[in-house]
Amino acid sequence: MMLSRKSLLILNTNLVKNCRLFSTEQRAFHEVKVPVPWGHVAGRWWEPWDKRPILAIHGWQDNCGTFNRLIPMLNDSVGVLAIDLPGHGYSSPLPSGMYYHNMNYPILIRQISNYFKWPKTSLMGHSLGGISAYMYTMLFPESVDFLVCIDGVKPLYKKNNGPRMAEGIQELLKYDAQMRSTEEPPSYPLDVLKKKLAALNKNSISIEHCHHILERNIAPSKNDPDKYCFTRDPRLKARLILNWSQKELVEGAYRVTPPLCMIKFTESGYYEEKQNFYEILEVLKKTSKDPRVHYVDGPHHTHLNNPETVNNLINNFVGTHNTEDRSVGGIKSDIISAEN
């Protein structure tokens, strides 16, 4: 469900007034829509706009709002283009019948990089976004100048992939039918939506910061003006049907040569066997030009709840490795959204 201008104004009034004030007082941004073959990828391009930015990628079922509180604390000499992945936020969903698999996102990074003609790509990602940035770097190491992975680095390895794939296909068919349905999805009062979001990932997001995610993930119900519906693509809930083996991931880690800053939140899980992560980490310590690993207290969304715990780690890393030319690849006037 795409948001109309009227719906956006309602959301801005009821939901994100504090977010807008915080963001615009400390660092300005443009709402943008980058064209892709199936529609557009929406996002926020935080100033400066005349230089190649860092591409920031959010986690699973979140959106670019996950960086609203962190980006204003980062060094403002480098811009940040924080995007909504396909089917998330204000971005176009994939065509009906298509599956959201983990290779969609490295492909998307390549499309965006080619669109702006970036000579190098700087990457920052949280959770799925960190995994996507890592995969892209594993595939195209020569095109990345540095990457920052926040509580997500390597792709997850899951055993018994055959049964999981079968279940994933069944889920895809179910959620694809939901997406094509003209029936409105379930709606809830705003306070209920905040509690639902806050409860995910072991109560990862503080209630007072849920609006940063909800802003781009919900729309007013057509049946009840006091309720809201989730607008993200329901197919995102289908489990992944593609799986890298741990052996392939170890081999791929030897290709990750650019500087890499990894931030692991101590109250967050590994979502797979813990030793898989540390096996890859041992390789990255040898192959990356500057592997930095930081353990920060807090849950999975600590970068949103308490950005002051990670901003200096990122600023110090970027300050060291912001050495490549940024004169090519600034914002294009035709991608700036009318919703600004």
CA distances from 23 to 19, 37, 120, 306 (A): 6, 31, 27, 15
Paired with 82 in beta bridges are: 44, 56
Q: Which of 261, 263, 264 is nearest to 320 (CA)?
A: 261
Which CATH architecture fits 17-160+245-335?
A: 3-Layer(aba) Sandwich (3.40)
pLDDT reported for residue 14:
46
Looking at every residue in the chain, the average pLDDT score rounds to 91
Out of 32-46, 238-252, 290-304, least confident range? 238-252
- 205-223 pLDDT, tens digit per residue, is 999 999 999 999 999 999 9
Q: What is the mean pLDDT of the segment spanning 140-146?
A: 98
Q: What is the mean pLDDT of the segment spanning 13-23?
A: 39
- 53-87 pLDDT, tens digit per residue, is 999 999 999 999 999 999 999 999 999 999 999 99
Q: Where are the domains of the chain?
A: 17-160+245-335
Question: How far apart, in whole angstroms, are the C-alpha atoms of residue 115 and residue 112?
Answer: 5
Contact 58, 66 (CB under 8 A): yes
Strand order in the sheet with 228-230: 187-188, 228-230, 218-220
Has residue 11 got a pLDDT over 90? no
Has residue 23 got a pLDDT over 50? no
pLDDT reported for residue 6:
39
Contact 67, 58 (CB under 8 A): yes
